[in-house]
C-alpha cells in the first residue's frame, strides 16, 4: 500500500460491523417499550453513528426530555441481548490488519460508548488491532470534530494526512468539520446518494471495493 494517509480512522457500526439493521430494530423496540409507535426505519437509520441520547432524541422527538434515560436503558436491553451475534463485514478484519501492517496508524471514532466499543472489539476479536479510539461518551457526538481532533493530537498527525471512513453523513460531516479527507461506504446505514452529496473521495459498495481503493490510494 502506498502511504498517502498516516492516520486512517474508521467508524464502527455499519462500516466495520454489520449492525445497522440491529440498531434500527432496537430503537424501534425501545420506542414501543416506552408506549410509542416505532419510528420509521428511515428515521431510525438516520441516527446511527450519533451518541445514544442524541440519536434517541431525533428518533423519537415526542418523548419527554426526562424519559430519555429510560428509553436509553430499553435500547441497551434489546441491543445487549443479541450483540454477541453480530459480525464484522466480510474482509473488514483483514483490511484493518493490513493497514496497520503497512505502517498506517489505525483508529476508531464511534457513536458507541466506551463500554460498548470495548464489548464490540472483544466480540470481533479486534481488541489489539487499533492504535486508538474515541467514543461518544468521551467526546462531543458526531458531527462535532472533537473525536478526530483528539486522535490527530494523540498521534501527531495533521489533517492533510488523516482519512475518515464511515457509512453516514455524520461521519462525513465530522471529517469536513475537522478538515480531513473522507471515504464513504454505501453498504451501511445511509444511502449512496445522500453520502455522495457530501463529496467524499470515494463511495464504496463493499468492503472489497474499499480495500481496493485503500490499496491504490491510501
d(C-alpha 187, C-alpha 185), whole Å: 6
| pLDDT of 3 higher than 80 | no
Pick the closest to residue 52 from 30, 75, 31, 28 (CA basis): 75
Q: Using one digit for the tens of pLDDT, what is the confidence trace for 155-201?
A: 999 999 999 999 999 999 999 999 999 999 999 999 999 999 999 99
The model's confidence at residue 131, banded by pLDDT at 50, 70 and 90, is very high
Position 154 scores a pLDDT of 98
Q: Using one digit for the tens of pLDDT, what is the confidence trace for 70-84?
A: 999 999 999 988 888
Full 3-state SS string of 156-169? CCCHHHEEEEECCH
Asked whether 207 and 90 are in contact (CB, 8 A), the reply is yes
d(C-alpha 218, C-alpha 105), whole Å: 12
Average pLDDT of span 91-104: 96
d(C-alpha 101, C-alpha 153), whole Å: 22
Set of cell numbers at residue 193: 446518494
CATH 1.10.150-classified regions of the chain:
20-84
Half-sphere exposure of 156 (CA within 13 A, CB side): 0
CATH 3.40.50.1000-classified regions of the chain:
7-18+87-217
Position 2 scores a pLDDT of 52
- How distant is the alpha carbon of residue 36 from its chain centre? 27
Average pLDDT of span 95-109: 96
Position 52 scores a pLDDT of 87
Average pLDDT of span 18-40: 94
Full 3-state SS string of 119-164? HHHHHHCCCCCCCEEECCCCCCCCCCCHHHHHHHHHHCCCHHHEEE
Looking at domain 7-18+87-217, which CATH architecture does it have?
3-Layer(aba) Sandwich (3.40)
The residue to which cell 492504535 is assigned:
131
Pick the closest to residue 116 from 130, 132, 134 (CA basis): 134
Q: How high does pLDDT run on average in the chain?
A: 94
Q: Does domain 20-84 have CATH number 1.10.3470?
A: no
Amino acid at each position: 500500500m502506498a502511504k498517502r494517509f498516516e492516520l486512517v480512522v474508521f467508524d464502527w457500526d455499519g462500516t466495520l460491523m454489520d449492525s445497522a439493521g440491529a440498531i434500527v430494530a432496537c430503537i424501534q423496540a425501545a420506542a414501543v417499550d416506552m408506549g410509542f409507535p416505532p419510528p420509521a426505519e428511515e428515521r431510525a437509520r438516520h441516527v446511527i453513528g450519533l451518541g445514544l441520547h442524541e440519536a434517541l432524541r431525533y428518533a423519537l422527538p415526542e418523548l419527554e426530555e426526562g424519559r430519555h434515560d429510560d428509553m436509553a436503558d430499553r435500547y441497551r436491553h434489546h441491543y445487549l441481548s443479541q450483540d454477541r451475534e453480530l459480525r464484522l463485514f466480510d474482509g473488514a478484519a483483514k483490511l484493518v490488519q493490513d493497514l496497520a501492517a503497512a505502517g498506517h496508524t489505525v483508529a476508531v471514532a464511534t457513536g458507541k460508548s466506551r463500554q460498548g466499543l470495548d464489548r464490540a472489539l472483544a466480540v470481533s476479536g479486534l481488541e489489539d488491532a487499533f492504535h486508538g479510539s474515541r467514543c461518544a461518551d468521551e467526546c462531543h457526538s458526531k458531527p462535532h470534530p472533537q473525536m478526530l481532533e483528539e486522535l490527530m493530537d494523540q498521534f501527531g498527525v495533521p489533517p492533510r494526512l488523516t482519512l475518515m471512513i464511515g457509512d453516514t453523513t455524520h461521519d462525513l460531516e465530522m471529517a469536513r468539520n475537522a478538515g480531513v479527507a473522507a471515504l464513504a461506504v454505501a453498504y451501511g446505514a445511509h444511502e449512496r446518494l445522500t453520502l455522495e452529496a457530501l463529496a467524499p473521495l470515494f463511495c464504496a459498495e463493499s468492503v472489497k471495493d474499499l480495500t481496493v481503493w485503500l490499496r491504490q490510494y491510501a
